[in-house]
Structure 1
Amino acid sequence: MKQSLAKATVIGMITLATFQQAANAQAGKNLHILSTYHIASNGGWDYIAIQPNSNRVFVSHGTQVNVLDKQTGDSLGYIPNTEGVHGIAFVPALNKGYTSNGRAGNATVFNLKTLAVTGTVKTGENPDAIFYDAHSKKIAICNGRSKDLTFIDPATDKVVATVPVGGKPETAVSNEAGKIYVNVEDKNEIVVVNANTYKAEAHWSLLPGEAPTGLAIDTKTKRLFAACGDNKLLVVMNAENGAIVAKLPIGDGCDGDCFDPQLHNIYTSNGEGTITVIHEGSKDQFTVTANIPTKKSARTIALDEVTHKLYLPAADFEAQAPGATGRPKMKPGSFQILVVGN
């Protein structure tokens, strides 16, 4: 009797786990645009960020960062004079936030509660992606033109290290255990940086993936998800040894991706106007489950891990004449944030 009961319990647990996996994968197929938040001012954009444990979303926008209520889209303020801003990072324990200002070549430091600017820190050339590494307790910034990483100590707002990576760093993530992984766009590789010694330790090829842009990580399964924009491919890499685990098709024009650790879904934001949803069945099993319509130009993305909603900046553009080259002109006042969910 006891043995049969134990077997039944195990079978029940397996069935429940299988059902949950199927439900998580199915959830990606039901995604759609729930809301559109309009921001009337002009200017380009890059990254968007959700402040943890808050109701605020931070949007890079030309020469400032707009701060919105993530539930209503109402304006909660802005951070000025962030020339060519790319990204935003948060250090809640110190009540600080940071922006990477590409054209200014610095990082703006601001009070996380009041949004008041408290200072700037000189970085490398053309600072782009930025994030807070909880392991080293440092702000890490990818500098595209000087081809290096800047590490800032938020306790002092001083640069503590500059790490060359041998190419243009596009995005970086941490395994939260001393390793930082960097997408090097012009070398088609991941560079592994030791967050304790500030040294580049390895260069791992992403080929056949080309021009990696978005990068996300599953710290539990130790898998990296590199979105390669030039050939519409998501490359899954083993974060322990650089081995390529899987290669999956994604939409065109991807510039960002993210991973939902609860639903085990990877989302790539494709500038063509889609989100590709890839489900992680196990550490070595990945399946494209959906391509969700969004809006052309929605190429970067942020995940709210509490609500599982996705936030994507986009805009409307003027029609181009046949044979015209370069980026089309953005329609004035058309900048917007798409909120995508179930």
Structure 2
Amino acid sequence: MNTIINHRIGTVIASVLITGSGLCFDNAVISGTSTTPNYQVVKKISLGGEGGWDYLTLDSAARRLYITRSTRVIVLNVDTGRVVGEIGDTPGVHGVAIARELNRGFTSNGKAATATIFDLKTLKVIGKVKTGSNPDAIVYDSVSQKVFTFNGLSNSVTVFDAKTTKVLGTIALGGKPEFAVADGLGRIDVNLEDKSEIVAINASNLKVEKDSPLKPCSEPTGIDIDKEHRRLFIGCRNQIMTVVDANTLSIKATLPIGKRTDAIAYDPVTRLAFSSNGEGSLTVVHEDSADKFSIVNNVVTEPGARTMALDLKTHKLYLATAKFQATSTPVPGQVRSRPSIIPGTFVILVLYDKQYH
């Protein structure tokens, strides 16, 4: 994932028309609730500092939000809004995975081609593991107690034992991995960004069980899972959310979302799926049933707010963004450079809907 985003905001759609259905969902009402979901930015936590960012990981039980910032991980208490510590020496850090039963956390360090192991209580570093080139997403599977790093430049997965830190194997993917998710039954699903495919990995034998194209999805990024109904929610850069049957990898639905999506989150209590879009919007989708899905809201956030974490305890959402330097008009034939982050402007946006509290 890119650590710096284009800051130009696209048009935020207030109500979305599903092509071909003739139905407008701007006034949709979620079954079991009194009103349409109404997530809003209710707080901004200013953290400042320099550098880009990537994944956000929220440990709801410990009330901690892990924020990856270029060379370090900032740890925020979400109840107080205060920084409680840092994990340093993580060059090019992308993601964080949590193993609560082992009191361990893990980071993927893209520039160092390593994974850092740290103590969840003290945040002290326990050790490091060598991975493939540019580890991006990182996932802990509680069934096998293994850690999977998805290596963006070597198109592979490095797998190591979460307790012993011994490397158990490398899995070739044949494409560039992006976000991944553990299904709770011993399988890991990962998006291949460059091939627009999804791949299912058996965490026990470390083999690819199946793969499937995601067409019409292009450049899949974020992914999350409804474990009860076995549905995967996948964000695609061509402005659609693709819903996939986790058992068969067949596509069940596609829905329009905002521009420059990155993260996807699913809340099993509210049955809402969220897409955080770099244009400055949050698309909210309701799972009406295992095979029916409705867009119920598009929320204005801020330009650049494309990574996200969900608090399963409070149902709040946390998005990261910053202010950016204005960019000059690109010269024809030249690659447009990304805007620079203005130092000291990095913030965490807190969104919630009062009906879920």
Q: Does 1:110 align with 2:118?
A: yes
Give the corresponding residue for 1:318: 325
CA distance in 2, matches of 1:182, 1:307: 27
Deviates more, 1:259-268 or 1:173-182: 173-182
Considering fraction of residues, name the structure with more helix: 1
Give the corresponding residue for 1:159: 167
Q: Does 1:52 align with 2:30?
A: no
Question: Which SS does the other structure have where 2:163 is aligned?
Answer: coil
Q: Which segments of structure 1 move beyond 6 Å, counting only runs of 4 or more? A: none
Aligned partner (choices 20, 23, 26) of residue 33 of structure 2? 23
Matches within 5 A, 1:82-161: 82-161=90-169
CA distance in 1, matches of 2:36, 2:47: 29
Q: CA deviation at 1:20?
A: 6.8
Q: Does 1:309 align with 2:308?
A: no
Give the corresponding residue for 2:8: none
Q: CA deviation at 1:27?
A: 5.1
CA distance in 2, matches of 1:37, 1:45: 15
Letter in 2 for 1:250: I
Q: Does 1:63 align with 2:74?
A: no
Question: Which SS does the other structure have where 1:180 is aligned?
Answer: strand
CA distance in 1, matches of 2:67, 2:289: 33
Aligned partner (choices 315, 337, 340) of residue 348 of structure 2? 337
RCO higher in structure (CA 8 A, sep ≥6): 2
Give the corresponding residue for 2:338: 327
Say whether the 8 Å CA contact 2:252–2:291 is kept in structure 1: yes
Distance 1:23 1:170, change over 3 A: same
TM-score (norm 2): 0.87
Residue deviations 1:245-268 (CA, integer Å, cap 9, x gap): 101000000111010000000000
CA distance in 1, matches of 2:225, 2:99: 20
Letter in 1 for 2:33: A
CA distance in 2, matches of 1:196, 1:94: 19
Matches within 5 A, 1:269-284: 269-284=276-291
Letter in 1 for 2:57: A
Letter in 2 for 1:338: L
Give the corresponding residue for 2:86: 78
Q: CA deviation at 1:22?
A: 4.5
Q: CA deviation at 1:21?
A: 2.0
Q: CA deviation at 1:180?
A: 1.3
Question: Which SS does the other structure have where 1:93 is aligned?
Answer: helix
Residue deviations 1:146-179 (CA, integer Å, cap 9, x gap): 1111112111011112111110010111221122
CA distance in 2, matches of 1:50, 1:272: 23
Letter in 2 for 1:68: L
Give the corresponding residue for 1:233: 240
Q: CA deviation at 1:72?
A: 2.7
Q: CA deviation at 1:96?
A: 0.9
CA distance in 2, matches of 1:245, 1:154: 34
Q: Does 1:288 align with 2:295?
A: yes
Residue deviations 1:47-71 (CA, integer Å, cap 9, x gap): 0111131121110001000011102
Aligned partner (choices 193, 197, 202) of residue 194 of structure 1? 202
Q: CA deviation at 1:219?
A: 1.1
Give the corresponding residue for 1:247: 254
Say whether the 8 Å CA contact 2:257–2:275 is kept in structure 1: yes
CA distance in 2, matches of 1:242, 1:75: 40
Q: CA deviation at 1:131?
A: 1.8
RMSD: 1.3
Q: CA deviation at 1:81?
A: 0.7
Letter in 1 for 2:339: P
Aligned partner (choices 215, 224, 229) of residue 216 of structure 1? 224
- Unaligned ranges ≥5, structure 2: 1-28
Give the corresponding residue for 2:305: 298
CA distance in 2, matches of 1:31, 1:341: 5
How many residue pairs get aligned? The number is 321
Q: CA deviation at 1:322?
A: 2.2
Say whether the 8 Å CA contact 2:30–2:286 is kept in structure 1: no
